[in-house]
Structures are given as C-alpha cells and as structure tokens.
Amino acid sequence: MSIGQPPQRRPANVGSMLLTPQENECLFNHLGRKCMSLSSAVVQVFTAERNSSWSKRCCGVACLVKDNPLRSYFIRVFDLRDGKMMFEQELYNNFNLSSSRPYFITFTGDTCQVGLNFANEEEAKQFRRNVSDLVGRKQRKTVNGPSFFTCWRHFYSTHYSTRHKNAKNVSIVQTQTYHAAYGQGFIVLS
C-alpha cells in the first residue's frame, strides 16, 4: 500500500431490497466465514428431473456468493427463520442461465434442471445480470488461458521438489517441462 492512499475497504454484502436491514444482516451472518453476497433476492426454488414438470423444492433468499475459502462462486438459498442453507449450486465452467420470463430463470444443476422464481422482477434482473457478468469474466479468463501466476504456481507445486529448495536455479529439464506444458516465456529464478 502506498503512502497517502486510503486503505482498501472490503466490498459490502449486497442484500435483498425486499428484506429489512435486520433480515439482510441475519442473511449475511449465515453466509459463512470470508464469504460475500454479490447479489440477493427472495425466491422459490423449483427442480425438474428429465422431461418432468417443475416441482417446488424450497423458498428462501438466493445469494450469489463469492466463497473465498473454497475459491469459487455459488448460488445459495437460505431459510432465514431456521438459519439453514436450503439449496446450493456451484457456478461451473460454461454455466448458462435461461430466462423465459422476467421473474423466472433456469439453469442446469448438478443433478437436474433448476428454476428460480423471483418475488420481484427488479431483483431477478439484477441477479441475472450479476451471474451473467461473473460467468462472462470467468469464461474470458479461461479463453485467454491461465495467468502466468497460475502456471507458475502449478509448475512450482508439481516440479519444484524438496531437493531443490536450496538450489539457486531451476534445472533445465524442469524449465523445458514447463515450456512444453504452458508455452510461456523464460523463468528466471535467483
């Protein structure tokens, strides 16, 4: 951090516009340690097995959650009265939302089709936009390839064994293995 610049603040959790401030605070307490709500909305969760009709699974508050300890993003639905997580879906690669109505979105879950029926169209619009933006950012990162840091971390963890801890340079063989796998520039360790 540079001198003269204010310290960075953590972004605030985003609550539902249909909940009171106290209810939103209760929701944030259920998220878990080092988890952040990027969007929240009151929903009903519906599921549909192969070619069957929708069946209501639960009601609650859906959150688009950034889970820092798990280093991933999830859609999680919480029951505020019981303080339980009622539904969870991790955002996987190529996650895709469909919207047949402004208040209803669907996606392919881990085991079946999932539908979220929103109590408020504005919350549905915001939630859909936040998920789509996040998925778009993740896909652009994947399309452009992993970052140099990611490649280096992978290289270090798979090729830099304990016998090299006191070495000044990485061996030529290890460097060639890295170049063949990732096609990145030279690595210089000193």
136, pLDDT greater than 80 = yes
Whether residue 93 contacts residue 143, with contact meaning beta carbons closer than 8 Å, is answered with no
Name the residue with tokens 């820092």.
68
Q: How confident is the model at residue 176 (pLDDT cuts 50, 70, 90)?
A: very low
Kindly state whether residues 78 and 42 are assigned to the same domain.
yes
Q: How confident is the model at residue 49 (pLDDT cuts 50, 70, 90)?
A: confident
Domain membership of residue 188 (yes or no) is no
Domain membership of residue 105 (yes or no) is yes
Q: In this predicted structure, what is the pLDDT of residue 97?
A: 93
Helices (H), the chain: 21-30, 121-143, 148-159, 172-182
Q: How buried is residue 40: exposed, middle or buried, by Cβ count under 10 Å (0-12/13-18/19+)?
A: buried
Q: In this predicted structure, what is the pLDDT of residue 51?
A: 80
Please state which of the ranges 53-57, 75-79, 103-107, 142-146 shows the lowest mean pLDDT: 142-146
pTM as predicted: 0.69
Q: How many domains does the chain have?
A: 2
Q: In this predicted structure, what is the pLDDT of residue 8?
A: 58
Kindly state whether residues 95 and 175 are assigned to the same domain.
no
Q: In this predicted structure, what is the pLDDT of residue 7?
A: 60
Residues 162-168, mean pLDDT to the nearest whole number: 41
Please state which of the ranges 69-73, 106-110, 145-149 shows the lowest mean pLDDT: 145-149
Q: In this predicted structure, what is the pLDDT of residue 2?
A: 54
Domain membership of residue 118 (yes or no) is yes
Of residues 148 and 97, more confidence is placed in: 97
Q: In this predicted structure, what is the pLDDT of residue 145?
A: 53
Domain membership of residue 3 (yes or no) is no
Kindly state whether residues 139 and 159 are assigned to the same domain.
no
81, pLDDT greater than 60 = yes
Of residues 145 and 149, more confidence is placed in: 145
Domain membership of residue 75 (yes or no) is yes
Range of the domain at 176: 148-182
150, pLDDT greater than 80 = no
How far is residue 48 CA from its own chain's centroid? 24
Q: Provide the 8-state DSSP code for 53.
A: -
CATH code of the domain covering residue 96: 2.30.29.30
Whether residue 27 contacts residue 65, with contact meaning beta carbons closer than 8 Å, is answered with no
Q: In this predicted structure, what is the pLDDT of residue 181?
A: 39
Kindly state whether residues 48 and 33 are assigned to the same domain.
yes
